[in-house]
A and B are shown apart, each in its own frame.
Chain A
Amino acid sequence: MSVLVFTENWEGKFKKLSFELVSYASKVAEMLNTQTVALSIGDVQEDELKKLSNYGADKIVVVNNDQLNVLDNQAYASVIAQVSEKEEAKVVVIAYNNMGKALAPRLSVKLKAGLASAVTKLPTSVEPFTVYKKVFSGKAFAKVVLKSDVKILTLAQNSFELIENAKEASIEQFDAQIGEIKTKVKDVQKQTGQLLLTDAEIVVSGGRGMKSPDNWAPIEELAGLLNGATACSRPVSDEGWRPQEEHTGQTGKIIAPNLYIAVGISGAIQHLAGVSGSKCIVAINNDKDAPIFEAADYGIVGDAHKVLPELIKAIKEL
């Protein structure tokens, strides 16, 4: 028996998210009195793999096969299913991100395993197996009972802390059966050297209150000073003031940074659905009645064009 955790790597490196997942999985394994097995697919060096054991992995299974250089959902789900069966996993933990959303549902059907998506906490009980998940885009939470023998949980980003728990993990190569790869990649466009919005610990976001795309320099400067990323509200990306990739909200990116600074954003319910997982929200808006102040932890009522330069100056002085 085991708890299996799928740890995605990015060009051979793990991210904080991977370690959050292992921390979470090893706590679930403790509740079930069993061991934690981490699965890594792709080419990852041994010293990087060993980092997974710092967060409680008892065993690391590696599947490294050139055919898996392309993300083919069918092939990947099949590999995870094979490892899951080999390790007799009772629970499989995956990230609630692009890759997790692509793979977990396929795996659920393969293993006939109930799936709970966007789980935010440890199971509240293991018998019956009950978890908490977000529903209504963060406007509520639900307790879900998973009734199947095997269970799959996708963990919402930034909802679980890293817990160091060093183990002597063994590393094992596994030769998975890989069927036909039906997905072919024709072209890749990567933004290089830019912090990903979904990875950023700090996000500075602008709304229609910025008045014009020409006014974005202070947002970018503030984000740069804080090692953060920039985002925007839907009207701003719809107007073409900022790229679609920056649209944060219910139908855009769902983010959960430590600090979200909303400038000139009124805070429509759909926008809040994309940022409500943030640890701390700061709102700067000239309308004291804007709904963003109901969601924010700290607020400044004022003109963004005056407040932002002050904020930038103060941060430079730190």
Chain B
Amino acid sequence: MKILVCLSNVPDTTTKAKFNNDNTAFDTAGVQWIINPWDELALTRAIQLKQNAANSIENITVITVGGKEAEPTIRKALAIGADDAVRIDTEAKDAYFVAAQIAEYVKNNPYDIIFAGIESSDYNGSAVGGMLAEFLDIPSVSAVSSVDFENGEVKITRDIDGGKELVTTKLPLVAIVQKGIAKEPMIAAMRGIMMARKKPLNVVQPIDVDALTEFVEFELPQPKPPCKMVEPENVKELIDMLQNEAKVL
């Protein structure tokens, strides 16, 4: 069995949003780049599944769409424990464009389970996983908080409103994962970092696809009025303001 984990290279989640060129582009100056947090949890779960020999997982590949600047993030994924990596060498234009690129690769290099994070922490599209499944015409399960195998069947827990469902599907499938899929992201050990330098990182040429959407301008939220402070002994004043000023009680 082979697992593919889709990676997005995103600014560290503590990064302040700044824009340049008349607010048409994200200002990358001084930004630390990381593996998108949900993708990192997905990778962690893939490695845990592979560590259990009964699952007979022979290979974990990570894939990303991006320029050479994404390579430190890819190497980090290899250091954590992916076996090889693919970088589709083009700027990620939109989710449709990215999913089409990955789908093309997967059509020629099939995988049994494809993991995608529920969203990327930068553009919050929540789209690549589902789009990829549709391009490949295979099942997708979203809001996934656990993936396991039992008697040769994949067992997936997904969130539904007000609870959880345990489901199974035919393989191949795209599992779109969220919090819970792994408890903590795995951290690369020194040995992993050394080995990562030698693991294959294949650079693949993109196909010609039109993006369907375009980010034309960014805006920071309006600065909010300062917090109104209430003395701890005056909780009645707070309740009065919540009722009559904010009108939320």
Q: Which residues of B contact A (CB under 8 A)?
A: 11, 13-17, 19, 37-38, 94-96, 99, 118-119, 121-131, 133-135, 137, 139-143, 155, 159-170, 176, 178-180, 210-221, 224-225, 227-233, 235-236, 238-239, 241-242, 246, 248-249
A217-252 contact mask (Cβ, 8 Å, vs B): 1 or 0:
000000000100000000000000000100100111
Once bound together, how far apart are the Cα atoms of A113 and B96, in whole Å? Answer: 9
Contact assessment for A297 and B224 in the assembled complex, using a CB-CB cutoff below 8 Å: yes
Once bound together, how far apart are the Cα atoms of A313 and B18, in whole Å? Answer: 44
Contact of B235 among A98, A141, A300 (CB under 8 A): A300
Contact assessment for B227 and A109 in the assembled complex, using a CB-CB cutoff below 8 Å: no
9 chain-A/chain-B pairs, Cβ below 8 angstroms: A102-B176, A130-B216, A143-B215, A145-B216, A269-B13, A280-B246, A297-B225, A297-B227, A298-B246
| A134-B124, A137-B121, A259-B248 known, 16 other contacts, Cβ within 8 Å | A73-B141, A74-B134, A98-B161, A105-B134, A138-B221, A139-B17, A142-B218, A147-B213, A183-B167, A184-B167, A186-B155, A189-B166, A191-B163, A259-B249, A296-B227, A301-B232
Contact assessment for B180 and A141 in the assembled complex, using a CB-CB cutoff below 8 Å: no
Is A101 positioned at the interface, with any CB of B under 8 Å from its CB?
yes
With A73-B139, A105-B126, A182-B169 as given contacts, are A145 and B213 in contact (CB-CB < 8 Å)?
Answer: yes
Is A117 positioned at the interface, with any CB of B under 8 Å from its CB?
yes
Summarize B's interface: helix, strand, loop or mixed: mixed
Is A135 positioned at the interface, with any CB of B under 8 Å from its CB?
yes
Is A106 positioned at the interface, with any CB of B under 8 Å from its CB?
yes
Contact of A140 among B14, B17, B94, B119 (CB under 8 A): B17
Is A103 positioned at the interface, with any CB of B under 8 Å from its CB?
yes
Once bound together, how far apart are the Cα atoms of A199 and B162, in whole Å? Answer: 10
**Which residues of the other chain, A, contact B139 by a CB distance below 8 angstroms?**
72-74, 182-183
Once bound together, how far apart are the Cα atoms of A114 and B97, in whole Å? Answer: 10
**Which residues of the other chain, A, contact B169 by a CB distance below 8 angstroms?**
182-184
Once bound together, how far apart are the Cα atoms of A198 and B161, in whole Å? Answer: 9
